[in-house]
């Protein structure tokens, strides 16, 4: 797993962390994204997740843009969001973390940051990365679901199947023997019969 560079702000390192970049301030899709991230900030906090955004714009632009984001959310237009936005106008972090989009450029022909999502665990290691193009806005509700899965599977010997949501049944990982599964999952293990006869689809209620 990739580790964070030493110059990433310390606020990201004490808990789970999500670092997400956007192409530019004062742009339509980015405004809707950070507006949704702002609305969901309490949900991320409940999960012990520190949020931080990044773009190649200046601090002054970030502060002014925050007013637009809050106004978009129907809130007073103040220069504050529930998470910081990194000023990476020199593109130092964007280059180190591979966040630049070679197909999207600013008025000076310089590449801008893509819609990247990095999620880091308390061990400061990368747990998940997602890259979206500039034209596709992210789903921050899905990021919450992903964090729920990452946190569950970090501490329990289960995996989460397709479309899993908190409270749904989980899957017993293949490295767990039948005997060990019985002791680890007292709520029971259900094995789905398959034409191959292999017993690898094993479900258990979320521990």
Annotated catalytic residue 163: no
- Give catalytic status of residue 123 as yes or no: yes
Under DSSP, the state recorded for 100 is E
For residue 26, how many C-alpha atoms fall within 13 Å in the half-sphere facing its CB? Answer: 11
In whole angstroms, what is the distance from residue 92 CA to residue 110 CA?
13
Q: Quick check: 163 and 151 in contact, CB under 8 A?
A: no
Site of tokens 């964007």? 94
CA 137-46-21 angle, 5° bins: 30
Distance between CA 128 and CA 1 in Å, rounded?
A: 9
Instruction: Measure Cα distances from 168 to 84, 193, 196 in Å.
Output: 33, 20, 26
Given 7, 10, 25, 30, which residue is catalytic?
A: 30
Given 61, 66, 103, 123, which residue is catalytic? 123
Q: Which residues are catalytic?
A: 30, 123
């Amino acid at each position: 797993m990739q580790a964070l560079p030493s110059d990433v702000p310390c606020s990201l390192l004490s808990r789970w962390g999500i670092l997400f970049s956007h192409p530019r301030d004062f742009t339509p899709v980015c405004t809707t994204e950070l507006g949704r991230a702002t609305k969901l900030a309490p949900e991320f906090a409940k999960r012990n997740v520190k949020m931080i955004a990044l773009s190649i714009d200046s601090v002054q632009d970030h502060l002014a843009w925050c007013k637009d984001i809050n106004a978009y959310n129907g809130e007073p237009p103040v220069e504050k969001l529930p998470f910081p936005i990194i000023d990476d106008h020199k593109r130092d972090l964007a280059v180190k973390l591979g966040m630049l989009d070679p197909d999207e450029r600013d008025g000076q022909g310089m590449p801008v940051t893509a819609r990247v999502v990095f999620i880091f665990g308390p061990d400061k290691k990368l747990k998940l990365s997602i890259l979206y193009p500039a034209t596709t806005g992210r789903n921050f509700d899905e990021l919450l679901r992903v964090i729920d899965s990452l946190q569950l599977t970090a501490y329990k010997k289960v995996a989460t199947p397709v479309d899993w949501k908190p409270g749904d049944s989980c899957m017993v990982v293949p490295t767990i023997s039948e005997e060990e599964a019985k002791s680890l999952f007292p709520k029971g293990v259900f094995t789905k019969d398959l034409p191959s006869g292999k017993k690898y689809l094993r479900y258990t209620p979320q521990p």
